[in-house]
């Protein structure tokens, strides 16, 4: 698997995981979920300007409805950060990712599987910037959370194994990446 394929796979898995985080907890679940699905469809179609506008509106709407520190706001911020990252707007994405993680840690707990996708997204941003020392602990934490909460055979664990393995590959750490890729493929 070449580096470009791994990056595409990582981006797709990360977007999928972040989509799972966007499921709201309120009575307006279907409306929020429908908007999240539309945002993801626009993003997949490369219509980033439209997706970002909707995602920004979603964050604003959820903040007005629930306040700035609600779980759904954290999930929406994570999705908006992912959109910015997809456009190479890392300077816009990073503070949103950090804020999303802080909100999700407070609302779901530091060991909740919901936070793993946000950790992976921020780690991927650091990895793109070759900030490997900052990315690695985030990838490891996401993996540990998923293994502990979901079990070692869960597909999300495979995603985290792949993310950490890819991280090692980008640094030429082949001996570290191989066992991670083997475990991910076995799942």
Q: According to the model, what pLDDT value does residue 130 have? A: 96
Closest listed residue to residue 156, CA positions, set 41, 20, 25? 20
Q: Which residue has the higher pLDDT, 107 or 29?
A: 107
Interval 106-148: pLDDT, tens: 999 999 988 999 999 999 999 999 999 999 999 999 999 999 9
Q: Which fold has domain 3-186?
A: 1.25.40
Instruction: Give the mean model confidence (pLDDT) for residues 13-31.
Output: 50
- Helix axis angle for 114-128 and 3-21, nearest 10°, is 150
Least confident interval from 4-8, 29-33, 99-103, 142-146: 4-8
Q: Which of 5-19, 21-35, 135-149 has the highest mean pLDDT?
A: 135-149
Closest listed residue to residue 111, CA positions, set 84, 148, 69, 73? 148
Q: According to the model, what pLDDT value does residue 1 have? A: 52
The residue written with tokens 């990582």 in the block is: 10
Kindly list the distances between the CA atom of residue 116 and the CA atoms of 20, 22, 52, 109, 179, in Å, as whole numbers in the listed order.
11, 13, 22, 11, 21
Instruction: Give the mean model confidence (pLDDT) for residues 25-31.
Output: 61
pLDDT > 50? residue 22: no
Q: According to the model, what pLDDT value does residue 14 have? A: 46
Q: Can you tell me the distance from the alpha carbon of 47 to that of 69, in angstroms, rounded to the nearest whole number?
A: 29
Q: According to the model, what pLDDT value does residue 7 have? A: 38
pLDDT > 80? residue 11: no
Interval 40-95: pLDDT, tens: 999 999 999 999 999 999 999 999 999 999 999 999 999 999 999 999 999 999 99
């Amino acid at each position: 698997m070449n580096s470009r394929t791994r990056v595409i796979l990582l981006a797709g898995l990360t977007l999928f995981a972040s989509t799972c985080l966007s499921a709201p907890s309120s009575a307006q679940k279907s409306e929020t979920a429908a908007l999240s699905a539309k945002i993801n469809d626009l993003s997949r179609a490369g219509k980033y300007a439209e997706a970002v506008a909707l995602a920004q509106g979603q964050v604003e709407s959820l903040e007005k409805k629930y306040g700035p520190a609600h779980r759904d706001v954290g999930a929406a911020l994570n999705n908006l950060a992912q959109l910015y990252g997809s456009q190479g707007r890392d300077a816009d994405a990073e503070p949103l990712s950090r804020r999303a993680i802080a909100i999700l840690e407070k609302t779901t707990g530091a060991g909740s599987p919901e936070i793993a996708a946000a950790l992976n997204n921020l780690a991927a941003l650091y990895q793109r910037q070759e900030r490997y020392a900052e990315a690695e602990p985030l990838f490891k934490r996401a993996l540990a959370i998923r293994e502990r909460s979901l079990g070692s055979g869960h597909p999300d664990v495979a995603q985290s194994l792949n993310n950490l393995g890819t991280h090692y590959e980008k640094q030429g750490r082949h001996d570290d990446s191989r066992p991670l890729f083997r475990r991910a493929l076995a799942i």
